[in-house]
Structure 1
Amino acid sequence: MNILEKITQQLDDFSKSEKKVADAIMAAPQTAIHSSIAALAKIADVSEPTVNRFCRRLDTKGFPDFKLHLAQSLANTTTYVHRQLDENDSPESYIAKTFESSMACLSRAQNSLDPQQVNRAVNMLTQAKQLSFFGLGASSAVAHDATNKFFRFSLPVQCFDDPVMMRMSAANSSPDQVFVLISYTGRTKALVEIAHLARQKGALVLGLTAKDSPLANAASMVLSMDIPNDVDLHLPMASRLTQMVLIDVLATGFILRRGNVFIENLQKVKEGIKNSQFDSP
């Protein structure tokens, strides 16, 4: 466990002053690395002994040793930086927290993604005669985004975020269809039922969901990413962001698999809608 993960794990155990130090470090870890103990104490509005006490609580030998561990953590930054929001956060602070948390989450998700499994998923998509993207709640936005991307690939695509319409579509499915079911937790009963129903009809089901979840177990194939299970306010944003990037990955793989002729066709589509936009200044 690296130092950032230790800070996240021990947040509830810190004193009020120590939490100030933790918040200052998590708000700008790069700044903390290059700060003196006096500078960090001033940023956190605490005393220098408090900073030293905070460092020793994390099993480091003091502030210099803590900075070394922090630098090592950032050099291998596949971790999700927990950014506690506070009602007194300035715009600069909550902007930084949102962006830094999202970027750390994307990095962690990327490193957890299996390229071979992505390749198999692209194979499945390119062989389909029709694609269906289903998602509920925050994942419904991802399903609609996927539909918008794959619609331009000259392939029948549908999207539903209503469980009844999903069930009707699955009940009428055939072996040449692929259903892409999107769920962060993979524990939504309606989607699990849809997966079973579609597979009973011979269709393939690609689950973009958590590993070993009920939906993962019901799907024909699964693409899972390590997305932190956090209860902070930005969780739906982080999970939706990583899901949308995964859709972009699959769409890119789809385009490359179809070859240059397909890419030229996409360029024609782009030219065809050019007149719907005002010219750039």
Structure 2
Amino acid sequence: MSYISGGLSMLKSVEQSLPASEKKIAQYILSSPESVITMTVKELSEKSSTSSAAVIRLCKSLDLKGFQELKMRIAGDVQKPSTLEYRDIDKGESSHHIIEQMTHNGIQMLKETDEMLRREDVDQAVNEIHHAGAVHIFGVGASGLVAYDAQQKFLRAGRYAFYLQDSHLSYTSLSNASSTDVAIVISFSGETKEAVQFMKLAKKNNVKTISITKYGSSTLSQMADIPLYTSATEEAMIRSAATSSRLAQLHVIDVLFMTYVSNYYDEVIESLDRSRAAIDHKQ
């Protein structure tokens, strides 16, 4: 990307959960984003009838470095061409329209996820995975499919990574984890009961934790040492299908894996060659 963006998506994602003063600022920005780009903190606080302190608190609520980053992201949003919104699939739609809409939803979710992922957090997560004695991965339902994908990728890369489908077995395994281990917990909402329990157990055992959740404050993202975010857009279609959100989670895993491969290329290639040879029936 030639510019950073995502400020407006971030504000829309957390708007309803913000305290009153921060909510007023968010609503003002969303109603007039172009004008905010050139404002100071004081000017924005006056325009939104709040205070400079509330503007600073809003930036912290968005998990941004400061008002300057928020303005840069909004400026990036203003430069982007407008896009279609997510749309539900109606009864009796043609396969042509379904293909078109699902493709659009997936692309939009990936673009928004790109905006939510902080590069420094990805680099830190990859570094922790590389130095981990073991990588414990947890997810339930559709997030479990993502956890399984992460397991097979990092196993092939030479990491001792595992995902256990039975949550009780996952808790048992994690209860014997070392403080040198890493736990990756995946949940779109960040509130899945089993995932929160897994995170609590990891923290109790002093295991380094990485969360993959939708953008915004959640139990998992607040507890994690390294929170990674996907787009927070709620899918219009039946939530149990977890279509675009699952795609976004898989994208984050792919980003982690490919960054890991790039950073530790020589040793990963050796591991990939060994794993390929091990399953090659011609050997």
Q: How many residues align?
A: 205
1:88 aligns with 2:92: yes
Q: Which amino acid aligns with 1:232?
A: M
Q: Which amino acid aligns with 1:116?
A: E
Question: Normalized against structure 1, the TM-score is what?
Answer: 0.66
2:172 is matched with 168
**1:256 is aligned with what amino acid?**
S
Q: Partner residue of 1:107?
A: 111
Equivalent AA in structure 1 for residue 227 of structure 2: V
User: What does residue 16 of structure 1 align with?
Assistant: none
3-state SS of paired residue (1:224) = strand
The root-mean-square deviation of aligned C-alpha atoms, in Å, is 2.5
Asked whether the 8 Å contact 1:128–1:177 carries over to 2, the reply is yes
Q: 1:124-182 CA deviation, whole Å, 9 max, x = no partner? A: 11110101111001100000111111111222221023221122122111101111000
User: Structure 1 CA distance, aligned partners of 2:152 and 2:82?
Assistant: 30
| Partner residue in 2 for 1:140 | 144
* Superposition map of 1:184-203 within 5 A: 184-203=188-207
Q: What residue in structure 2 maps to residue 255 of structure 1? A: 261
Q: CA deviation at 1:264?
A: 4.2
3-state secondary structure, aligned to 2:185 = strand
Deviation at 1:275, TM superposition (A): 4.8
- Stretches of structure 1 that go unaligned for 5 or more consecutive residues are 6-72, 277-281
Contact 1:132 1:159 in 2 (8 A): yes
**C-alpha distance 79-189 of structure 1, shift in aligned 2 (>3 A):** farther
- CA distance in 2 between counterparts of 1:191 and 1:244 reads 17
Check 1:119–1:77 CA distance in 2 against 1; reply closer, same or farther (3 A cut): farther
1:195/1:261 Cα in 2 relative to 1: closer, same or farther (>3 Å)? closer
Match of 1:222 in 2: 227
Displacement of 1:257: 1.8
Mapped contact 1:181–1:206 kept (Cα < 8 A): yes
Q: How far apart, in 2, do the equivalents of 1:176 and 1:98 lie?
A: 41
Task: Name which one, 1 or 2, has greater alpha-carbon Rg.
Answer: 1
Taking the aligned partners of 2:269 and 2:82, their CA distance within structure 1 comes to 33
Equivalent-residue separation in structure 1 for 2:243 and 2:179 (angstroms): 34
Contact 2:138 2:163 in 1 (8 A): yes
- By relative contact order (CA 8 Å, sep 6+), the higher-ranking structure is 2
Amino acid at match of 1:218: M
| Contact preservation (8 Å) 2:113, 2:231 | yes
* Structure 1 partner of 2:237: 232
The alpha carbon displacement at 1:74 in A equals 11
Amino acid at match of 2:232: I
Distance, in Å, in 1 between the alignment partners of 2:78 and 2:170 is: 43
Where do residues 42-81 of structure 1 align in structure 2 (5 Å cutoff)?
Answer: 76=80, 81=85
Residue 217 of structure 2 corresponds to 212
Asked if the contact 2:142/2:246 (under 8 Å) is kept, the reply is yes
- Preserved CA contact (<8 Å) 1:78 1:107: no
Aligned residue type for 2:152: N
Could you tell me whether the CA contact under 8 Å between 1:79 and 1:105 is conserved in 2? Answer: no
Moved more, 179-188 or 100-109: 100-109
Which segments of structure 1 move beyond 3 Å, counting only runs of 4 or more? 77-80, 267-276
Deviation at 1:198, TM superposition (A): 1.4
- Mapped partners of 1:249, 1:169: distance in 2: 26
| TM-score (norm. length: structure 2) | 0.66
SS of the residue corresponding to residue 206 of structure 2 reads coil
SS of equivalent residue, structure 1 residue 209: strand
Among candidates 124, 128, 132, match of residue 124 of structure 1: 128
Structure 2 vs 1, CA of residues 167 and 105 (structure 1 numbering), >3 Å: closer, same or farther? same
